[in-house]
Amino acid sequence: MAAPKVHPPGTRLGHYEVRGILGEGGFGIVYEAWDLRRSRSVALKDFRQRNVRHESSLAARLRHPNIVSLLDVGEANGSVFVVYERVEGPPLAALPIETRRRHLPALAEGLFRALGYAHDAGVLHLDVSPGNVLWAGRPMLTDFGLGALRESASGAVRGGTPGFVSPELRKGPRADLYALGALLWWATTGVTPREECDEKPEELLLHQRELLDALLDPMPERRPSSAWSALARWKGVERRRVPTVQIARTERPPALGRSPVDVAEALQALEASLATGGLVRVSGPRPSGKTALLQGLATRLRARGVPVFSLTARRGIPCGTFEVAAALRRLLPGNGALECTGTTRSADLGGAQMAFYRA
């Protein structure tokens, strides 16, 4: 099939009107277009080669917050195209390295979840790379043009982005995990794993170096068994890094004004955490005044104009503090905080907890 001509703004392709070009590559051209039926902006991908059925059949299986959704497939005026939701955000490759480093936890967790979901649905991506991840406050994986069905995947990987293709060059879930490990390495260091880095990787990657080394192992059988397994390891390391304010047991829970040292320490840890988008855990035996302290901190935040979202668990019922906080983090405004308090059976440190997230 010949390369498609470039459609100028105003061109109609079915019920889509071209507004401009978003990107171009060996696959074809991606246009910003307007859906005249549903009055919405979309991304329309006009193919150079007739692999539209292949990509659309894979993408149609997937509906996930970290995967760009397929909306339509069509043919008009000699063009064969697929239509995706329009994501308001740049490709990861266009983000400054400081931004990538700041959002590395959210980037990693979102892409582990996207791959875990896709693999469970029987779809391999096989080209996880900076150009195929969009950043819209969360990572969104796109372009399954080189992907394959897991059940029928065999043979060598054809194509892919140099520096992000697994060394075994074989199709499989662990090829995607290698590519994601390479992407996280690149997001942090600015270079692919096989390139020299001006800064020492061990100083940049720090606590997650062990997991990244496992993802980038040249022997696929030594990589994590699944994206979910890798995510669990990532979150386990991140949780161990959570700063904790420990409160000693007292005869009687102290009023906020009677524990200035604890308040000062908690506030200092909180403010440091908010600056980096992390969380603070306040923990101690019962009774030790944790709840009163957390309520006082929330009151102070509200007085400073910081929106505080509060979730309290009943005693003995799991609160799911970290899972709920991670889910709600996307809903917070840029300077918001999230409060989670309550006794949880699943907590590794018993008693009330407070997790402050910055969006």
Question: Which structure tokens are listed for 172?
Answer: 């499989």
Q: Number of helices (H) and strands (E) in the chain: give both, helices first.
A: 10, 14
Query: Annotated catalytic residue: which of 46, 127, 143, 262?
Result: 127
**Adjacent-strand bridge partners of 178:** none
Question: Minimal CA–CA distance to 16: which of 87, 98, 84?
Answer: 84
How much is the pLDDT for 34?
97
Q: Edge-to-edge strands of the sheet including 40-47?
A: 12-13, 16-25, 28-35, 40-47, 79-85, 70-76
Contact 220, 178 (CB under 8 A): yes
Strands 308-312, 337-341: pairing is: parallel
DSSP string, 174-224: HHHHHHHHHHHHHHHHSS-TTS--SS-HHHHHGGGHHHHHHHT-SSGGGS-
Average pLDDT on 147-165 reads 77
Element (H, E) at 270: helix 260-276
pLDDT tens column, 258-312: 444 455 665 666 555 555 444 555 666 666 666 676 777 777 777 777 666 665 5
Q: Other C-beta atoms within 10 Å of 196: how many?
A: 6
Q: Is 72 a catalytic residue?
A: no
pLDDT tens column, 174-211: 999 999 999 999 998 889 988 877 766 555 565 688 89
Contact 32, 86 (CB under 8 A): yes
pLDDT at 135 over 60: yes
pLDDT tens column, 49-68: 556 677 778 888 888 999 99
How much is the pLDDT for 352?
38
What is the sign, positive or negative, of the torsion defined by CA atoms of 71, 76, 79, 80?
positive
Half-sphere exposure of 237 (CA within 13 A, CB side): 16
Total length of the chain: 359
- pTM score of the predicted model: 0.64
pLDDT tens column, 101-120: 889 989 999 999 999 999 99
Banded model confidence at residue 218, pLDDT cuts 50, 70, 90: very high
Please indicate whether residue 26 or residue 243 has the higher confidence score (pLDDT): 26
Question: Which structure tokens are listed for 17?
Answer: 């009107």
Banded model confidence at residue 90, pLDDT cuts 50, 70, 90: very high
Contact 64, 117 (CB under 8 A): yes
**Separation CA 71–CA 248 (nearest Å):** 56
